Amino acid sequence: MSLDYDVIVIGTGAGALVSALRAHDAGARVGLFEKGDQVGGTSAWSGGMVWIPNNPHMAEAGIDDSADEAVTYIMAMSNGLIEEKLARQLVEAGPDMVTWLEQNTPTRFQLIESFPDYHPEETGGKTAGGRSLECPLYPFAELGEWAARVTRGPQLDGSTRMGESPLGNQPVFGIDPAELERRKERDERGSGQGLIGPLLRACLDRGIEPHVGHSAVELITENGAVRGAVFETSEGRKEVRSGAVILATGGFERDERFRQAFLRGPLERYASVPTNTGDGLRMAMRVGAALGNMREAWWVPMIDVDVPGRGTTAWMINPERTWPRTIMVNPQGRRFANEATEYNALGAAFHVMDATGYGYTNLPAWMIFDQEYLERYGIAVHRAGEPTPAWLIEAATISELADKIGVPAHQLAATIDRWNGFCAQGHDDDFNRGDSAHDRYWGDRRIGAGVESTLGPIDTAPYYAVQMRPGALGTKGGPRTDVNGQVEHVDGGPIDGLYATGNVVSSVMGGTYGGAGGTLAPAMVFGWLAGNHAAETALARLALTN
Ligand SMILES: Cc1cc2nc3c(=O)[nH]c(=O)nc-3n(C[C@H](O)[C@H](O)[C@H](O)COP(=O)(O)OP(=O)(O)OC[C@H]3O[C@@H](n4cnc5c(N)ncnc54)[C@H](O)[C@@H]3O)c2cc1C
C-alpha cells in the first residue's frame, strides 16, 4: 500500500514541531496536522521557557552542571512516580537537542539570568539558575501569512506578566513603553510566540506546511502496527497513511469524563487551548497503549477575571501569590500552604481531604490582600483607582471581608495577626515562606533580595478577596513511552509505528515540576528523539519492502 507520508505528526505545539523537524532531517516525508484553525497550541500561549539541565549556554556562562546532578534532583522529587531511565534520557538528550535546533533552525536560546529551579534546595537543584532557557524576540514578519495563524492566549497583553506576553522577555514589573511600542510595530514576539515562531519557520522552510482544521479521530492499524490516522475535516473524513504516527495532541484537561475518571482531585479551570480534549489518549487507548501518571496535571492556581472584550477568563496567579501583603486561606480562615511555593506543588494543597467531613479541606480557597498590595501591583486586569469589579470582593474591615466570603471572622483576624507578626519578625514560622531561593526570586525583588521580597503585612484597608481555583496548564498522564518516545503496549513492548510526546504522554516528571520550562522541555526533547526514531524505523521498513 502506498504511503502519503513516512511520518505524520498530530498537533502543532513545540514538541510536535520539533518532532516534525527531526523526522524530516532524518530523511522522512513528514505531514503535520492540527485540529484548530490556528497553530502552536498552548505552547504558543506559554512563557516559552525550556528547562534543560547542563545546557550549552550554562557552560558558556561558567555555570556548573552535570547529567548526574540533574538526575539526582529529579529523582529526589519522584515519590515513586518517576522512571530513572527516562529522567536520564531527558537530561542527556536535552543539551544535544538545543545544539541541534540552534545549528539547523532559526531557533535560538538564551539563559534566563539567575532563575532558580522550582525546588532548588533539593539535592542536585540549582539555587542560582542556569537550567531555564528562553528564546529571544522573533520577528513574526518572517512567517509571512502564517504570522496571523499562530494562536495567542488570553493572558497575552504585553504588560507586566512574567513570561506570558507575546512581546515577552520582559521584567515582571513592566517594560519600557517605548520598547513595547517598538516590538509592536515590528511584530517582534517573545515567550511562547518567540519559541513557536522560529520552529514554524523551520518547518515551512522544509516544505512542512501544517494542515489546519484536521482533527485526528482514529489511528489506522495493520496487524497491530500503527500506519496512519483518520481525520475529520470540513470536507469530511480523510485517511492519511504513513509509516509512523507521532501524537502531540496535548492533555485531556478539556474532557470532563477523563478528568473525572483519572485525576486525583478537582481540576476546575484550564490554561490550555480548548482543543486539548484528550483525543490522543483516546486513540492510544484503542490500540492498547499502557497508561501512566493518569492522576497528575501541571497544576496551577487560577482565578476568574472579567476581561474586557473576552468575558470571564481563567487567569493564572503565580508571581501575584508570592508578593508581600497577600496570603491564601481556606474555608476555616486559616493559611494552609506556603503561598510562594511553585504553582504545581500547590495543587497538592488544594487536594487535601478531611477524612471526617469527607470534603476538600482547603476548597474554596481565597487569596486575601490589602489596599497597599492593590496600589503596588494591581490584580489581573484590575488596577487601584478603578471601580472594583464583580469578581473581586472588597470590604472595609477584615471582619466584613470574612462575612462576605463565608469564613469565621475571628479566625481570619487571628490568621492575619499571626501573618503580620511573622512579617515583623522576618520569618514565616508556619510554612517557611521566603526560606527558598525560589520564593525570593518570584517575590518583589525591587524591595530586596531577602524574605522582604515575599513577606509583608496585610494592614491597610480596604481589604480584598478573590477565590482561587485548582487549575492546570494541562494534564500529564497518558500513554507510557520509552526512551525513544515510542508508545508501550499494555502487554509490554513498544507499539510498532506509534510515538507520542508532550502532555498527551505519561510525563517523565511524574508529579513534579523541575524548573521554569519543565513541561516544554520534555515535550521537545522526547519529540526530537521520537522524530528521529520514527523516521529511521519507517524508512528502514520501507527499504526492506522495496
Ligand atoms: C500562560 C502559560 C504559560 C506557560 N509557560 C510555560 C513555560 O514557560 N514553560 C513550560 O515548559 N511550560 C509552560 N506552560 C505549559 C506549556 O505551555 C504546556 O505544557 C505545553 O505547551 C504543552 O505542549 P503540548 O504540545 O503537549 O500541547 P499544546 O501546545 O497545547 O499542543 C497540542 C496541540 O494539539 C492539537 N490537537 C489536539 N487534539 C488534536 C487532534 N485530535 N487532531 C489534531 N490536533 C489536535 C491542539 O489543538 C494543540 O494545537 C505554560 C502554559 C500557559 C498556559
Helix axes 520-545, 14-25, angle to 10 degrees: 30
Q: What is the pLDDT of residue 160?
A: 42
Q: What is the pTM of this model?
A: 0.97
From CA 454, how far away is CA 201, in angstroms rounded? 41
Ligand 1 binding pocket includes 191 (Cβ within 6 Å):
no
Cell of 344: 504545581
How much is the mean pLDDT over the chain? 95
- Does 286 or 546 have the greater pLDDT score? 286
pLDDT in tens, 20-36: 999 999 999 999 999 99
Ligand 1 binding pocket includes 501 (Cβ within 6 Å):
no
Mean pLDDT of 229-256: 98
Ligand 1 binding pocket includes 453 (Cβ within 6 Å):
no
In the chain, CATH 3.50.50.60 covers 5-214+476-545
pLDDT in tens, 198-214: 999 999 999 999 999 99
Q: What ranges in 226-342 are assigned the alpha helix state H? A: 256-262, 279-286, 319-322
Ligand 1 binding pocket includes 43 (Cβ within 6 Å):
yes
Q: Determine the Cα angle at 47 with ends 198 and 344, to 5°.
A: 140
Which architecture does CATH list for 5-214+476-545? 3-Layer(bba) Sandwich (3.50)
From CA 201, how far away is CA 145, in angstroms rounded? 11
Q: What is the pLDDT of residue 170?
A: 56
Cell 498552548, residue located: 42
pLDDT at 161 over 50: no
From CA 142, how far away is CA 163, in angstroms rounded? 22
Q: Which atom of ligand 1 is nearest to the CA of 316?
A: 1
By alpha-carbon position, which residue is closest to atom 3 of ligand 1?
Answer: 46
Q: What is the pLDDT of residue 168?
A: 62
CATH tag, 299-472: 3.90.700.10
Ligand 1 binding pocket includes 299 (Cβ within 6 Å):
no
Q: Which among 129, 199, 135, 133 is positioned nearest to 168, based on CA atoms?
A: 135
Cell of 72: 539526582
In the chain, CATH 3.90.700.10 covers 299-472
Percent of the chain with pLDDT over 90: 90
Pocket test for ligand 1, best of 473, 475, 525 (most atoms within 8 A of CB): 473
Percent of the chain with pLDDT over 70: 96
By alpha-carbon position, which residue is closest to atom 51 of ligand 1?
Answer: 46
pLDDT at 546 over 80: no
Distance 325 CA to ligand 1 centre (A): 33
pLDDT at 157 over 60: no
- Residue 454 pLDDT class (50, 70, 90 cuts): very high
Cell of 142: 518572517
Ligand 1 binding pocket includes 415 (Cβ within 6 Å):
no
Q: Which among 507, 528, 525, 521 is positioned nearest to 77, based on CA atoms?
A: 507
pLDDT in tens, 296-325: 999 999 999 998 888 899 999 999 999 999
- Residue 159 pLDDT class (50, 70, 90 cuts): very low
Q: What is the pLDDT of residue 68?
A: 98
Pocket test for ligand 1, best of 17, 35, 38, 46 (most atoms within 8 A of CB): 46
- Does 152 or 232 have the greater pLDDT score? 232
Ligand 1 binding pocket includes 507 (Cβ within 6 Å):
no
Mean pLDDT of 471-493: 98
| Least-confidence region, from 14-18, 338-342, 376-380 | 376-380
pLDDT at 180 over 90: no
